[in-house]
Amino acid sequence: MKDSQPSTIYLKDYQVPPYLIDKTELTFDLDETTTVVTSRLHMRRNPEFGLSTTPLVLDSGVDVKLIALAIDDYTLPEEEYRLSENQLIISATPDVFILTCETLIEPQNNTRLEGLYRSSSMFCTQCEAEGFRHITFYLDRPDVMSIFTTTIIGDESRYPVMLSNGNEIERGKTDEGKTFVVWHDPFPKPAYLFALVAGDLEVKNDVFVTQSNKEVKLQIFTESHNLDKVDYAMEALKRSMRWDETAYGREYDLDIFMIVAVDDFNMGAMENKGLNIFNSSCLLASPKTTTDDSYLRVEAIVAHEYFHNWSGNRVTCRDWFQLSLKEGFTVFRDQSFSADMHSETVKRVEDVSFLRTAQFAEDAGPMAHPVRPASFIEISNFYTLTVYEKGSEIVRMIHTLLGAEKFRAGSDLYFERHDGQAVTCDDFVSAMEDASGVDLTHFKRWYSQSGTPVIEVTDEFDAASGVYRLTMTQHTPETAAQPVTLPLHIPVKMGLLDPNGQEISAYFNGQESQEHVLHLTAESQVFEFTGVTTQPVPSLFRSFSAPIKLRYDYSSEDLLLLMSSDSDGFNRWSAAQQLAVNELTVLINQAIAKQALSIDSQLVKGFKNLLENKELDPAMVALILALPSQAYLSELAETIYPAAIKEARGFFKKLIAKELEEDFGRLYREHHLEGEYSPQAKDIAHRSLKNMALSYWLETDSELAHQTVKTQFESANNMTDQFAALSSAVHSQHEDAENMLASFYEQWQHEPLVVIKWLMLSANQEAADALSRVKGLMEHEAFDLKNPNKVRSVLGGFGQNVSGFHHEDGSGYAFLADQIIVLNKLNPQIASRLCTPLTRWKKLQPELGQKMKGQLERILKEDLSKDVYEVISKCLA
């Protein structure tokens, strides 16, 4: 452990910056050993700050070496500044001046992948949130916005492509015969949006004509062997640009928009102004190497980063506590875009399923925080499901409360009012209120309170008067950091079904309708409906109108009715999930008690009906057939028994498979597509149902199923089908699974994006010797501890491996802890993310929980980065 612990930063301590930087001129002299960065910062004291004697404090990283420092033409001697581990302090400055600073950095030794670093043969940057300080001394905070001019000097034969933000304004040769390129970005921006790329890259060009007839040059850069995989991203980019014009009235603002793919990247992608940088796994796509899921992800992330040009860049965040201002809103925008491009219901189900599994778990664990956190130790730890996904749910609720038209008026006002500014979540809400006249004062509590609200609902029906009453009670669980929780403003979109599954038109507040939006604002409230002639089944929180946990005592019959008849597609899925959860819970409890598993399943009956209905969207059928995941069942459990959950799921899947064996065989044949691959929604839907059917079918003894999976694996013309066959074979413990895994690697070893899928599946494979297999994977030629995608695949995949990770002797936990300790030094952000499975120790069955805790305590004794320290110390608090 270190002698002094890292300190906590609080939102309540926010102050405007004492200095401003109007212009930033940077020169990079790129070199394989040391890179020289020279900055000329046009600075002045901030009149809003008041005090005119405050020293100038610049942020810096330990990896930046100062060579020379000058104010205007005066070179500062060492006595006139102070240099510490993370700051450069100059006690006296004029009111207006130019600070010139020369620094040395070593991108080739930068394994944190923050600041300027190397990825294969290229140079690239990652500056969000606080990476710029690893490049040079700066006011590295988002409310300091500056106009950047960047000169890049490099050897043209190695770096024929040299890019930065904005437009290229000049190019030439230096005296030493190197090439220089000058880029100028006319839009003021914070340092976290700065980017630089240099390398031997190929480019795909295109053009987009904006709604006001401006031509924008579009460019996607990759290493030459990947140039054949960028067409889909380019089309997705053009669809995004068009959609932002129609849906939000937002037009692109520069003459050029560039995207670069890099192999080594901590996150998915980054919205740097005019120069987005992508993890290649989120950009490249081709039928033979990319699954349907990945195609959809590429489209969504291309859109997400593009949408940031307005929600993030033109209007940015005042401070990092406001991160959800740009991320929550932009996720909402990309989700709406994907819904418009494909199926709204399918998209909603996928997003909610993810939220309920992963964000709810975060909100119930030691890292729980509000969408606008009140404090942090390391901001990198707050790029979370809460800030992103729950943040998006908040924006979605505002959309529900205002209606589409007023919401659009609100977003128009927000962009117009705050263009060029760094603002807060409160500013966003104010714009929504001012444009709509809707009071969101109470609603805003969603930003400051963490935890998932639980809504208990009871009902009563009086046949004589035709009155139906719903009583709703809300409660958000307390946490150590949040001892008191208060009621939230919760929009409840709902309807009523009669016993035949028909929608009931009922009166609420004098309004007759089949669908209502109720406002639950108090701790407990009664909602009264009149004109109801039969006992209804309530369909609550349609399309998941709020991120809550619903408790209503549905019978299996009620759930079957909703599943087959609700007009809300989302709730049909949700009812099926609930029924599956109920039945799985019975089985899990039997498994915990070491009893023989047995159940008279009602869900099977629901599935039978579902499979006979030919009207339904095959994608929805596939989603309904997907059993609640191990992770979701763990989230729901009071105490997690990993092996019991796994056993119950396995048993249940087999039971369903046997009951419906013929249907699954038939579905497989009906949804099998011939012909060329296309990632369009209709085809994706058929493939998803076919492959879902295959995964059930394989759980039976059918010889034909076992043959089919091999045939599909060997003859598929696309990765979706090939990988689905492989995964099903692996997960069903097919006798040929080992051979299939080996031949898959053999076939795809030269495609890194396929190799990471293979690594993940291999690490995920349940087996008695899972741990030694994972150790083998880390020794494999395909593995590289410095590549985040590979680390995520192997260690992330292992974290989901019940028999390996949760081995009763604790060896899985010890192994993960060892890797975290190594990665803590190499790449703190990645190390910190790998801690996630360990954060659940308090909920784990006690024998396992104690072993996990022991590993957390062991990690805490190490010399930790802020990133890992924050997570581990909060786990043990």
CB of 759 to ligand PHE, least distance (A): 22
The number of residues that bind Zn ion (CB under 5 A) is: 2
Q: Smallest Cα–Cα separation from 123: which of 97, 153, 101?
A: 153
Strands 549-552 and 454-462: parallel
Q: Is the dihedral of CA 265, 271, 273, 275 positive or negative?
A: positive
241 binds, among Zn ion, ligand PHE, none (CB under 5 to 8 A by kind): none
126 binds, among Zn ion, ligand PHE, none (CB under 5 to 8 A by kind): ligand PHE
| Rounded Cα–Cα distance for residues 90 and 357 (Å) | 49
Q: Smallest Cα–Cα separation from 384: which of 361, 403, 418?
A: 361
CB of 304 to Zn ion, least distance (A): 6
537 binds, among ligand PHE, Zn ion, none (CB under 5 to 8 A by kind): none
Q: Which is nearer to ligand PHE, 380 or 803 (CB)?
A: 380
List of E strands, 656-726: none
Six-digit token pair at 284? Answer: 């490249």
Q: Which is nearer to Zn ion, 192 or 713 (CB)?
A: 192
| Rounded Cα–Cα distance for residues 787 and 325 (Å) | 30
In Å, how far are 79, 93, 376, 764, 782 from 774, measured between CA atoms? 54, 57, 34, 9, 13
Six-digit token pair at 77? Answer: 């001697």
Q: Which is nearer to Zn ion, 392 or 718 (CB)?
A: 392
270 binds, among ligand PHE, Zn ion, none (CB under 5 to 8 A by kind): ligand PHE
Q: Is the dihedral of CA 867, 868, 874, 875 positive or negative?
A: positive
CB of 417 to Zn ion, least distance (A): 22
746 touches 726 (CB < 8 A): no
The string of DSSP codes covering 1-61 is: --SSPPPPEEGGG----SEEEEEEEEEEE--SS-EEEEEEEEEEE-GGG--S-PPEEEE--
Exposure string for 603-621, b = 16+ CB within 10 A, e = fewer: bbebbeebbeeeeebbbbb
Q: Smallest Cα–Cα separation from 709: which of 753, 664, 748?
A: 664
CB of 690 to Zn ion, least distance (A): 33
Q: Which is nearer to Zn ion, 193 or 431 (CB)?
A: 193
CB of 298 to ligand PHE, least distance (A): 14
Q: Is the dihedral of CA 658, 661, 664, 665 positive or negative?
A: positive
- Residue 258 is inside which H or E element, if any? strand 256-262
Six-digit token pair at 718? Answer: 């696309």
427 binds, among ligand PHE, Zn ion, none (CB under 5 to 8 A by kind): none
Q: Which is nearer to ligand PHE, 126 or 316 (CB)?
A: 126
Q: Catalytic residue among 223, 305, 503, 647, which?
A: 305
275 touches 165 (CB < 8 A): yes
DSSP for residue 736: T
Q: Which is nearer to Zn ion, 128 or 427 (CB)?
A: 128
| Rounded Cα–Cα distance for residues 872 and 860 (Å) | 7
602 touches 627 (CB < 8 A): no
Q: Which is nearer to Zn ion, 312 or 752 (CB)?
A: 312
CB of 148 to ligand PHE, least distance (A): 18
CB of 330 to ligand PHE, least distance (A): 7
32 is an active site residue = no
Closest residue to ligand PHE using C-beta atoms: 267
185 binds, among ligand PHE, Zn ion, none (CB under 5 to 8 A by kind): none
CB of 272 to Zn ion, least distance (A): 12
257 touches 223 (CB < 8 A): no
Amino acid identity for residue 324 in this structure: S
Q: Which is nearer to ligand PHE, 317 or 759 (CB)?
A: 317
- Residue 635's Cα: distance from chain center in Å? 18
Q: Which is nearer to ligand PHE, 267 or 440 (CB)?
A: 267
Q: Which backbone phi and psi does 262 adopt, to 5 degrees? A: -125, 150
Residue 137, CB half-sphere, CA atoms under 13 Å: how many?
28
CB of 792 to ligand PHE, least distance (A): 14
Neighbours of 854 (CB within 10 A): 14
Which parts of 290-329 interact with Zn ion (CB under 5 A)? 327
The string of DSSP codes covering 530-575 is: BS--S--EEE-SGGG-SS-EEEE---HHHHHHHHHH-S-HHHHHHH
Which parts of 94-123 interact with Zn ion (CB under 5 A)? none
Using CB under 6 A, list all residues that contact ligand PHE.
126, 128, 267, 270-271, 304-305, 327, 383
852 touches 838 (CB < 8 A): yes
CB of 710 to Zn ion, least distance (A): 41
Which parts of 326-345 interact with Zn ion (CB under 5 A)? 327, 330
Strand partners, 103: 37, 66
Q: Which is nearer to ligand PHE, 262 or 637 (CB)?
A: 262
| Rounded Cα–Cα distance for residues 702 and 700 (Å) | 5
- Catalytic sites, residue numbers: 305
Contacts to Zn ion by CB under 5 A: 327, 330
